[in-house]
Amino acid sequence: MEKAQAYIRIQELREIINEANRKYYVDNSPAMSDYEFDMLLKELEALEGRYPEFITEDSPTRKVGSDLKNTGKKQKEFEQYPHRYPMLSLGNTYDIAEVQAFADRASKGIGNAFTYSCELKFDGTAICLTYRNGKLARALTRGDGAVGDDVTANVRNISNIPQELKVPAGFVPTLMDPQPWPEEFEIRGEIYMPWPAFDRLNEERLKDEEQPFANPRNAASGSLKLIDSSMVANRGLECTLYHMLGEDLPFQTHDQALKAAASWGLPVSDKRKICRSIDEIEEFITHWDTERKTLLFATDGIVIKINELPYQEELGYTAKFPRWAVAYKFKAEQALTKLLSIDYQVGRTGAVTPVANLEPVQLSGTVVKRASLHNADQMSQLDIHIGDYVYVEKGGEIIPKITGVELSRREADAVLPSFPETCPDCGTRLIRDEQEAKSFCPNQTGCPTQIKGRLVHFLSRKAMNVIAGEATIEQLYNKALVWNAADFYELQKEHLLTLDGWKEKSAERFLKSLDESRKVPFERVLYALGIRYVGETTAKSVARAFGNIEAIKNATVEELLKTDDIGQVIAESIYEFFRDDMNLDTVERLKAAGLKFETESGPVKLSEKLAGKTIVISGNFSISRDDMKALIVAHGGKSSGSVSGKTAYLLAGEKPGPEKIKKAESLGVEIIGEDEFRKMIE
């Protein structure tokens, strides 16, 4: 490649890699596989090595991918703090020969005998914990390696991360060592989502017709950045720690440090081994390449570290990687099988999804027969034909997906599929949502699949929790007994006895379950309404923020956007739902049936002590932000999202946003703390 061509390719690679980094770290929506990304990065490294005059400090080969989201256009979601020690990435390889080369370089640089610590590479999101005098003081994300987001409040909701360290058995305090751990130290690791929690979360998202997370790593990263800390506890996150840092640590080896951390109650992996040769390393890699499929969490490789800490210090770092560690990445497991046909499924909100029917094939311990093709754009990018032999992977090793076509095996009579222009269920012409690249059937009131899907959702366990399955809904719909959710509450025993196989007891059980559903709290009723994009946690946030259905119904898009975890798409969806006369009629009928359409505190006013006062909150409090807003409203005040001349107080908790503080000071708005606020409303 000539110099001019190399320069053009370098610029192109940097643009592609930077965009891929943004999608991976910030959007949690990877645009390519890890292998594709690593190959592009290696190509860029090779070109920069050949033409060093083109190397710049902001090249992706010299900086860590960043999870920092601040764009300068809005208030930062999290406070940011510098890392005491740079939080770098690891060099990756897919070739055991490159692991051998790493070992040779280390041996040459050290010149003495040493050992390796081989550990599983957890597929999660990096975290750095600081403990002071045995107590958790701060938790930072990797950020850009130099600065990270402070997610301490969220990390406190991860069950296996101790808030306070435990004293190991047999420890005797002395004047020199009054506690078994250093006065202050950092310990780094990975926050991840185990498979059961990942499956549960994606099942919920699919039911709500939200985009499922591509893999547990993205799910963990997204969950760690939730604004409402209380929601983090419900995501099932776990943590494994693998690297300790601090001044004058009393350890000679990495392994000693991890054993000490484990004795203090910190979550350290027991699936590691001290190796003394490349043969032992290769044996460890081979073992876990197979056994990883039996683990309850995702692992995408093996990390090999020099075990002796003085030798780590001696080898040092490059601009981006430690020279004393390398990661061997497992290749994603694939299977090649034949595409038999494509079904087009209609969901309860009208989204039409293409699903590939495959010749059954074994993949990661299960038989795969179907795989999602997501949308028309995905089908077009793959250039997929009926009869093609396709490569199938499990996205995050769980959700089957088609990743490519084996063109060499395409037969002459292979047929190019055509995405339907009309709904496969009711025949209505489809409309396309360009933002999501999805096609929708707009016939919400006449498309049988959508109607039945909404009815099933309404009665589901996490919504109204009524004892009924899809077969019951099918019969009720076919007999014209139920058409929308309010119809359930007008059913009589004689109606139910007309259903196939139903007797007195089954009818009474259903009616009793239906009656019990009148006690379901407001946030679950809101979720049961089936508003597009409004999942269980979103419904909870909106219910807490507004208190009752009337406030939500009358809210503007701008007011909805002030609710935690609500973006433009969700706010517009809620707003449009309550502009539809049929939806409003259903809500009124459900109200008349006795369902709860306000929170337990509802519109009850505790006092008028804040009457006429607009209060803006910022930071973390002893209760959730939504509960704090509700408390303001309960005492007659108004909660606002932005500071203005009309703001009475800025209520500042722990780590308030600096921009809000600055604006309040410039406008002369009084800044108060939580204690002062609570005295006001006593």
**Catalytic residue numbers, as ranges:** 121
**AA letter at 66:** S
Distance of CA 177 to the CA centre of its chain: 42
CA-CA distance, 460 to 656, in Å (whole number)? 39
Half-sphere exposure of 185 (CA within 13 A, CB side): 23
Q: How, if at all, do strands 135-141 and 389-395 pair?
A: unpaired
- End-to-end CA separation in angstroms for the chain: 75
Backbone φ and ψ for 157, nearest 5 degrees, come out as -100, 10
Report the alpha-carbon angle 121-124-130, nearest 5: 95
Contacts 24+ apart (CB under 8 A), 258-265: 260/180, 260/181, 261/187, 263/168, 263/180, 264/134, 264/162, 264/165, 264/166, 264/167, 264/168, 264/180, 264/181, 265/162, 265/165, 265/166
Burial of 159 (0-12, 13-18, 19+ CB in 10 A): exposed
Residues contacting 154, CB < 8 A, separation 6+: 139, 224, 225, 226, 229, 232
CA-CA distance, 613 to 632, in Å (whole number)? 9
CA-CA distance, 532 to 580, in Å (whole number)? 13
User: What SS3 string covers 117-162?
Assistant: EEEEEECCEEEEEEEECCEEEEEEECCCCCEEEECHHHHCCCCCCC
Cβ atoms of 121 and 299 closer than 8 Å: yes
Helices and strands per DSSP (H, E), number in the chain: 24, 22
Q: How, if at all, do strands 325-329 and 92-93 pair?
A: parallel
Contacts 24+ apart (CB under 8 A), 29-35: 29/211, 29/214, 29/218, 30/214, 30/215, 30/218, 33/332, 33/403, 34/92, 34/300, 34/329, 34/332, 35/94, 35/329, 35/331, 35/332
Q: What is the DSSP string of 229-249?
A: HHHHGGGT-EEEEEEEE-TT-
Number of neighbours of residue 209 by Cβ within 10 angstroms? 21
**AA letter at 337:** T
Residue in the block written with tokens 């969490």:
297
Instruction: Report H helices in 522-580.
Output: 522-528, 536-546, 549-554, 557-561, 568-577
Number of neighbours of residue 387 by Cβ within 10 angstroms? 16
CA-CA distance, 393 to 332, in Å (whole number)? 7
Q: What is the DSSP string of 476-521?
A: HHHTTS-SSGGGGGG--HHHHTTSTT--HHHHHHHHHHHHHGGGS-
Q: What is the DSSP string of 257-320?
A: HHHHHHHTT--B-S-EEEE-SHHHHHHHHHHHHHHGGGSSS-EEEEEEEE-BHHHHHHH-B-SS
Distance of CA 45 to the CA centre of its chain: 31
Number of neighbours of residue 433 by Cβ within 10 angstroms? 13
